[in-house]
Amino acid sequence: MAIPPASKLPGEFDLIARYFAPLSAGMPGALGLQDDACTYALPLGEELVLTVDALVAGIHFLADDPADLVARKLLRVNLSDLAAKGARPVGYLMTTAFTAETDEAWVAAFAKGLAADQAEFGVGLLGGDTVATPGPLSLTLTAIGTVPMGCALRRNGAKAGDAVLVSGTIGDGALGLKVLRHEFLELPSHERKFLADRYHLPQPRVALGQALMASGLVHAMMDVSDGLVGDLAHIAEASGLGATLRAAEVPLSSAAAEILAEATDLLPLILTGGDDYELLLTAAPNDVPALLGLAAEIGTPLSVIGEITSGAGVHVVDRDGGDMAMVTGGYRHF
């Protein structure tokens, strides 16, 4: 333990009592965040689903992003991973590494963002750790969910001939980041706001994920976080197969469609950019109508965008079936 940096914050115990303990109110096993560890009793017949994601200021979010949106994104990227397994989210543990520049107003707004999303998604804070860092503000969240024993969906179950489906719209997150960097200034302001919101505030498809799991019709599923083409390649590779992606059938928001109409060279960004947080899945073609109906009931659109093929790799094809060269592999973190 070295001397921690100077800080604008109250002490660790005060900070926890003031901002984080209230977030654990609905979780009796959190013990008010006043113990070494928390407990959680799993419902009978269910198994745990666990995932962890870290966000670093300047890498995964912009240093001047509003604190409440950073908090909600931190929680939502993890909920999206749970959704991809078909899990019901339960709670989370969180580590916050604050800097000498972090002030109490930031922490208060951060906690407020978490409280809003806890209410929206029915989760609570189970435990955490609060440390100081001389580096950028860094956040780690471990999310916990449950799924009926043996029913968690995986990436590796795709079968040759399966239809490939995706929820929502693709590319908004990558375009939203460009909006935040002052591109697309000619776009109407409501569309600029829509795209920026999609970057800041992903919509984890928690209800759809559970319904898809419960249908028993889905062969493979994951969430699209590293880019559609790269993530479809993950499903194909894990399943020992290939895939065809029909670019013209990839669902776009009206803002993304408008941008693409003006700048067709942005299609690769839309198809390979990250931060979509939609569900990507495969199922037998015969089961597609049932899945589309189920998605319509929940109110989240689902679109067929390609097929699983024998062979290997993802082939992106244009409207006429012609091959489109595409750099795959998703976002490289190093």
Write the DSSP assignment of 138-197 as a string of letters.
EEEEEEEEEEETT----STT--TTPEEEEES-SSHHHHHHHHHTT--TTS-HHHHHHHHH
Near a second copy by CB under 8 A: residue from 53, 117, 162, 276: 53
- Regarding 207 and contact with a second copy (CB under 8 A), the answer is no
Q: Which is nearer to a second copy, 48 or 312 (CB)?
A: 48
Could you tell me which residues come within 8 angstroms of residue 76 by beta carbon, excluding any fewer than 6 positions away? 117, 201, 202, 203, 204, 277
Near a second copy by CB under 8 A: residue from 75, 164, 195, 222: 222
Q: Which is nearer to a second copy, 46 or 249 (CB)?
A: 46
- Regarding 169 and contact with a second copy (CB under 8 A), the answer is no
- Regarding 204 and contact with a second copy (CB under 8 A), the answer is no
To a second copy, the closest distance from the beta carbon of 258 in angstroms equals 23
| Interacting positions 109-128 with a second copy (CB under 8 A) | 126-128
- Regarding 38 and contact with a second copy (CB under 8 A), the answer is yes
Near a second copy by CB under 8 A: residue from 117, 162, 172, 223: 223
DSSP class of 305:
E
Give the 3-state secondary structure of residue 2: coil
Asked whether 89 and 117 are in contact (CB, 8 A), the reply is: no
- Regarding 135 and contact with a second copy (CB under 8 A), the answer is yes
- Phi, psi (deg, nearest 5) at residue 111: -65, -35
Q: Which is nearer to a second copy, 48 or 327 (CB)?
A: 48
The structure tokens listed for 17 are 């009592």
Could you tell me which residues come within 8 angstroms of residue 327 by beta carbon, excluding any fewer than 6 positions away? 268, 272
Residue with tokens 């109407």, as numbered in its chain: 188
To a second copy, the closest distance from the beta carbon of 317 in angstroms equals 26
Contacting range for a second copy; rule: CB under 8 A; set: 31-39, 186-194, 289-297, 310-318 = 31-39
To a second copy, the closest distance from the beta carbon of 188 in angstroms equals 25
Near a second copy by CB under 8 A: residue from 36, 186, 265, 320: 36
C-alpha–C-alpha distance, residues 286 and 80, integer Å: 27
To a second copy, the closest distance from the beta carbon of 265 in angstroms equals 20
- Regarding 42 and contact with a second copy (CB under 8 A), the answer is yes
- Regarding 136 and contact with a second copy (CB under 8 A), the answer is yes
How does 319-332 read in b/e, with b if 16+ C-beta sit within 10 Å?
eeeeeeebebebee
Q: Positive or negative, the Cα torsion across 232, 223, 46, 139?
A: positive
To a second copy, the closest distance from the beta carbon of 304 in angstroms equals 22
| Interacting positions 263-282 with a second copy (CB under 8 A) | 274-275
| Interacting positions 76-105 with a second copy (CB under 8 A) | 80-82, 84-85, 87, 93-95, 97-98
DSSP class of 19:
I
| Interacting positions 274-333 with a second copy (CB under 8 A) | 274-275, 331-333
Asked whether 30 and 22 are in contact (CB, 8 A), the reply is: no
Contacting range for a second copy; rule: CB under 8 A; set: 2-10, 18-26, 188-196, 299-307 = 2-10
- Regarding 133 and contact with a second copy (CB under 8 A), the answer is yes
Binding residues with a second copy: total (CB under 8 A): 77
Asked whether 82 and 148 are in contact (CB, 8 A), the reply is: no
To a second copy, the closest distance from the beta carbon of 231 in angstroms equals 10
Parallel, antiparallel or unpaired: strands 46-56 and 138-148: antiparallel
In degrees to the nearest 10, what's the CA dihedral of 17, 20, 23, 25? -30
| Interacting positions 146-165 with a second copy (CB under 8 A) | 147, 149, 152, 154-156
